[in-house]
Amino acid sequence: MKQALLSLEDAQARLLALASPLDVVHVDVEGAVGHFLAHPLLARRTQPALDLSAMDGFAVAAANLAGPWRLVGESAAGHPYDGHVNAGEAVRISTGAALPAGADAVIIQEDVSLVGHSLTLTGVAPQPPDKHIRRRGMDFSEGDEVLPSGARIGPAQAALAIAAGHRHLPVRRAPRIVVIDSGDELTADPEGCALHQIPASNGAMLTALAAPLSAETSRLGPVPDTLEALVQALDEAADADVIVTSGGASVGDHDLIRPALQAWGADLDFWRVAIKPGKPILVATRMRPGKSARPQIILGLPGNPVSSFVTAYYFLLPLLRQLHGAGEVLPLKVATTAAAPIRGNGPRREFLRGDWDGRQVVPHPLQDSGALASLAASNVLIDRPAHAPEIGVGDKVEVFLLQNGGIV
């Protein structure tokens, strides 16, 4: 009996159930960018550690906001005033400088007049008096959780970690990935491509997709369409956490990925998903002899470039996030409206390439799974459920954002 196709969600769940986060390593903060926190991050210090001025001006006692004042000193960033501010006294203060003892208000310099050491109010006193003060602990206090487990470390998160007193961060080690291009029609030289050949672009595309997720990626191929050549390529990838093949996953006479995996000792978990493009995706596992109990995971992606991209988007990227221990693993959908009619759909869930301007989406006129130009011109995948009816201009539709792998 013919096996029913899996839904996208069921296939994703089965894939992710095969993977658990990799081992924890501690790396310097800058080296952690692109990784995900393995544990919650607690602040080791308070930020700011003292009350600071948020403006250039003069620090005074709030009990005497009308003035006049006598200038008695200065507090600069990194060079605090070490005296006490009494009623009728003022200390010149710069942005980011520590508030002197006895001062609990800052009058900005545009609102005063200074003649010699005499200071008078010419503008408006701050209301409330601490309007221009950054209070101790305004950002975070020692012991606060500043980042949750699974948070991705980007530029802002790296700065926050350093400000919170951390030099090193606990993250998961980088997944090791091998991408295998296969097909007799492929050539590695795009400048010397014969008419009967196709430049092997999928390997570069898949490697670029994985790069923002801090994976250690290498490529093999193009590998000829023979069982022996494919098994040899798999042997060369025997130490990888994830093996990604592109091409040969369908049912043609030259589609040899499944028999090659079987000959290599891998076990097929599932094959074929009810999506378009990307139906012939397969997932297999292999226990490495003499290694840990963690299996290698093999993703067999279709050879058509758009199909390869779409299946990598919905399967490879979530798998890598899972191995990293990410808080968000699956790509997120965004609700929008159609700026042009979208045709009705068939029995498989379809993902149309489209251009989204933040308000409306337009499907690309060419949706063939071999059309790379339309993929490169698109920034979203339009989600069309199975048997979805035609929709018109202004009708609601959902899209997956291609930027950042769909994690917004």
Tens of pLDDT, residues 274-299: 999 999 999 999 998 765 678 999 99
Q: What is the pLDDT, as a whole number, of residue 132?
A: 97
What is the chain's mean pLDDT, rounded?
Answer: 94
Q: Is residue 255 very low, low, confident or very high in pLDDT (cuts 50, 70, 90)? A: confident
Domains 8-23+173-324 and 28-46+144-172 share a fold: no
Write 369-373 long-range contacts (CB < 8 A, 24+).
Answer: 369/277, 369/302, 369/304, 369/305, 369/306, 369/307, 370/304, 370/305, 370/306, 371/306, 372/201, 372/305, 372/306
Pairing assessment for the beta strands 242-246 and 296-301 based on DSSP bridges: parallel
Percent of the chain with pLDDT over 90: 88
Q: What is the pLDDT, as a whole number, of residue 292?
A: 65
- H-helix or E-strand containing 316? none
Interval 144-179: pLDDT, tens:
999 999 999 999 999 999 999 999 999 999 999 999
pTM for the whole structure: 0.90
DSSP string, 229-265: HHHHHHHHTTT-SEEEEES--SSSTT--HHHHHHHHT
Quick check: bond before 68 cis, omega within 30?
yes
- H-helix or E-strand containing 65? none
Which CATH homologous superfamily contains domain 333-406? MoeA, C-terminal, domain IV (2.40.340.10)
pLDDT above 80: residue 340: yes
Q: Is residue 215 very low, low, confident or very high in pLDDT (cuts 50, 70, 90)? A: very high
Domain boundaries, given as residue ranges, for the chain:
8-23+173-324, 28-46+144-172, 52-134, 333-406
Taking the C-alpha atoms of residue 103 and residue 94, their distance in angstroms, rounded to an integer, is: 14
Its CATH architecture, for the domain 8-23+173-324, is 3-Layer(aba) Sandwich (3.40)
CATH number for the domain running over 28-46+144-172: 3.90.105.10
Taking the C-alpha atoms of residue 327 and residue 73, their distance in angstroms, rounded to an integer, is: 50
For the segment 85-89, the average pLDDT, to the nearest whole number, is 94
Which CATH homologous superfamily contains domain 52-134? Molybdopterin biosynthesis moea protein, domain 3. (2.170.190.11)
Q: Is residue 1 very low, low, confident or very high in pLDDT (cuts 50, 70, 90)? A: very low
> Looking up tokens 């997120």, which residue turns up?
332
Spatial contact of 197 and 186, defined as CB atoms under 8 Å apart: yes
For the segment 114-137, the average pLDDT, to the nearest whole number, is 95
Q: What is the pLDDT, as a whole number, of residue 40?
A: 98
Residue 139: phi and psi, rounded to 5, are: -85, -55
Percent of the chain with pLDDT over 70: 97
